[in-house]
A and B are shown apart, each in its own frame.
Chain A
């Protein structure tokens, strides 16, 4: 007996849920933008500049209270202490110090000296304000360029309506992920940008699979209503959509559980991305397609996969 999360043949009426789903997505994106502008992101030192030190207590659980009062005497301003992965590991975050880079370096030395021999300093990171601004700029470029390239490719391979629908779904994923980070105050750092780009990659992967089927069915069932074709395409790909989401989620779950504290947030963001990406492929991308009157006679293009057909 096979394990099947989705029955072999489904005939769910996705298109009936299209408008409520688009309404929900609209609200989600609006709320995300609102959260982003009102609450803002908890920017990590990658973008804001500042100091981060990971220390491990060499005898027993770390004494956060003691550390806090010791470090408080240094007059370095806002210091946050947080357990990281286990009760012996502490993450120390210090705001950017007034003055130039030398002032930051002096602060790091002061902190490590204050922690003393009872703590092993496992990691120190310091990002100056100039570099932080550059990293933020590069992150925005990376996301922007990737979205643009994907849009152009879909346009090239399909039709402009598909391209527009795909980019809507992608923007939806990216914006709602940013909204989630604003809502939860999870630290937003370079790894988050990588996670967002991977989410975009995963989501577009999903969308393309569905679009491929839509294109094929448009050719095959010329007499069907467009709405039925979209529904049919979603149902035909549903089993695959769920299957791939589950395998990817399983792999990510392994990282969350065993990959260590550094990767945990990254994997959690990715898990969210898999869920939102799967949802948006079905409801946002195909939902948006339904607004267009799609051409039925798409040109029979050369398949990039033709070598396999020759085999």
Chain B
């Protein structure tokens, strides 16, 4: 027992050195990346609560997507039925289902063929002449997965257009996306960037009727729709439902100014968009068309001449708004609106303050515990203090090595570990005291102390580890960080108490060969 084999000595030394090497970058100024190639250069990954940043849990509003899909299906059915001269009535979207009634029962087969075009994602039910078409379970799952993947891609392009900000964008559960963006000064900006789907369309204004007349009548002519203006003027426009060109066909968008020096967004269409746009504008010179963003009319200029690739969107914009709008348009439209379920944003000032406070608390806590140990156990207390320092270095090294995220509660976890880490040593030392009181000689007492304390130490630490484990499983964000540091702390304190302190005690015994021990 008191022969500490050389391989164990080497192991202790090796682990300690590794700990120092991995922990070292944290003591250096700068981001640590400039250290030599042979040394690990990574610092501890600070959580959002320490470096500042935003955490957003977003829900992708699937209802909107499903409704859109169903409406587009209804539109396809309308066109196909007209083309094939199938007579129908009551075509509508009701409660997540497209319903339609055939006038002639004999058209059933032809109608079914039209429905089959939607693929295996829909289920069709028939009730006499009435048909209803809805997404089946698999169809909904597919649609959801696709929508969320697209949303994540668009989110990334919007908040990190240059790919330099290292955001975390993760799918969570069925319909949620977690966005974590470190180091942002203005969390409102992210919400503005993600707050609109940015569906851009160009649609002709329906000049056969005025908005006033539509409102009096209560409904727009079929094929047209009443839309509000984007500003707060309360103005309305009647526009054709048919989309001339939509935002997917944009090639680029830039913030600029119009001829009156007002902020504007200049855009260019890609080849396909330019062709389409040119065709429609060429045929409708003199008519107004509406530029529609997220269901609101931004402006409705009159087509002066055939327009191909380029255009300008003017409206009631500030320069900041045109910058954001052009960024959003470049990134593309979100397939569905995003709803913020949870938001936690920490300013960089608060993060820095928390780090400073945590460091002071850690140093003071460490000092208090170390002094108390020396006062209580003398030399052995000092040896335990050395082990405690090794312990702290190992925790920092482990956090850097596995790139775990250190959060504010995580700092509390480290400080708490310092208090609890000496427990294993206390258990051993108290045992040695007991053995000495029983009249054992120094060697036997120390050997007995370690031998008897070890099972208690393991039991006690394993049970604490359970608590940490469930904190990790069920916790979120900072709490997870706390669980990680607590678990690492338990592992390293076991190691330092059982190996490091013991090695030091044995080295002392070998050098001094004491006949007496006052503990």
A: residues with CB less than 8 A from B are: 2-4, 8-9, 54, 56, 100-102, 104-105, 108-109, 112, 120-128, 130-131, 135, 138-139, 141-143, 145-146, 149-150, 153-154, 157, 190-191, 193-194, 197-198, 200-202, 204-206, 208-209, 212-213, 216, 236-237, 239-240, 243-244, 246-255, 257-260, 262-263, 266-267, 270, 303-305, 308-309, 311
Which of A101, A154, A190, A200 meets B475, CB within 8 Å?
A190
- Interface residue B287 (Cβ < 8 Å from any Cβ of A): no
Collect the chain B residues with CB atoms within 8 Å of residue A4's CB.
Answer: 376
- Closest approach, in angstroms, between the C-beta of A95 and any C-beta of chain B? 16
Collect the chain B residues with CB atoms within 8 Å of residue A146's CB.
Answer: 466-467, 469-471
Q: How far is A204 from B470 in the complex, measured between Cα atoms in Å? A: 15
Which of A194, A248, A305 meets B420, CB within 8 Å?
A248
Collect the chain A residues with CB atoms within 8 Å of residue B288's CB.
Answer: none
Collect the chain A residues with CB atoms within 8 Å of residue B457's CB.
Answer: 305
Contacts A142-B474, A193-B479, A254-B415 known; A122 to B430 CB distance under 8 Å? no
Q: How far is A247 from B362 in the complex, measured between Cα atoms in Å? A: 13
Q: Is the CB of B350 within 8 A of A240?
A: no
Q: How many A-B residue pairs have CB under 8 A?
A: 264
- Closest approach, in angstroms, between the C-beta of A158 and any C-beta of chain B? 9
Q: How far is A123 from B5 in the complex, measured between Cα atoms in Å? A: 54
**Identity of the chain B residue whose Cβ is nearest the Cβ of A261 in the assembled complex:** B357
Q: How far is A259 from B50 in the complex, measured between Cα atoms in Å? A: 13
Q: Is the CB of B368 within 8 A of A254?
A: yes
Collect the chain B residues with CB atoms within 8 Å of residue A153's CB.
Answer: 462-463, 466
- Interface residue B8 (Cβ < 8 Å from any Cβ of A): yes
Starting from the known contacts A123-B345, A205-B420, 15 additional A-B residue pairs (CB-CB under 8 Å) come to A122-B349, A123-B350, A190-B476, A194-B409, A194-B471, A202-B464, A205-B463, A247-B373, A248-B420, A254-B415, A257-B364, A259-B361, A260-B357, A263-B408, A270-B416
Q: Is the CB of B420 within 8 A of A244?
A: yes
**Identity of the chain B residue whose Cβ is nearest the Cβ of A244 in the assembled complex:** B423
Contacts A3-B376, A146-B470, A305-B454 known; A9 to B423 CB distance under 8 Å? no
Consensus secondary structure, chain A interface: helix
B: residues with CB less than 8 A from A are: 1, 3-5, 8, 57, 59, 187-188, 191, 195, 339-347, 349-350, 353-354, 357-358, 360-362, 364-365, 368-369, 372-373, 375-378, 408-409, 411-412, 415-416, 418-420, 422-423, 426-427, 430, 433-434, 437, 450-452, 454-464, 466-471, 473-476, 478-479, 482-483, 486, 498, 518-519
Q: How far is A308 from B466 in the complex, measured between Cα atoms in Å? A: 23
Which of B357, B437, B479 meets A194, CB within 8 Å?
B479
Which of B5, B354, B361 meets A311, CB within 8 Å?
B5
Q: How far is A2 from B476 in the complex, measured between Cα atoms in Å? A: 44
Contacts A157-B459, A247-B419 known; A198 to B486 CB distance under 8 Å? yes
Q: Is the CB of B474 within 8 A of A138?
A: yes
- Closest approach, in angstroms, between the C-beta of A129 and any C-beta of chain B? 9
Contacts A251-B418, A255-B412 known; A243 to B357 CB distance under 8 Å? no
**Identity of the chain A residue whose Cβ is nearest the Cβ of B418 in the assembled complex:** A251
Chain A to chain B contacts (Cβ below 8 Å), 17 pairs: A2-B518, A3-B376, A101-B339, A142-B473, A146-B471, A194-B409, A194-B483, A200-B467, A216-B452, A247-B373, A251-B416, A254-B415, A255-B412, A257-B361, A303-B455, A304-B462, A311-B3
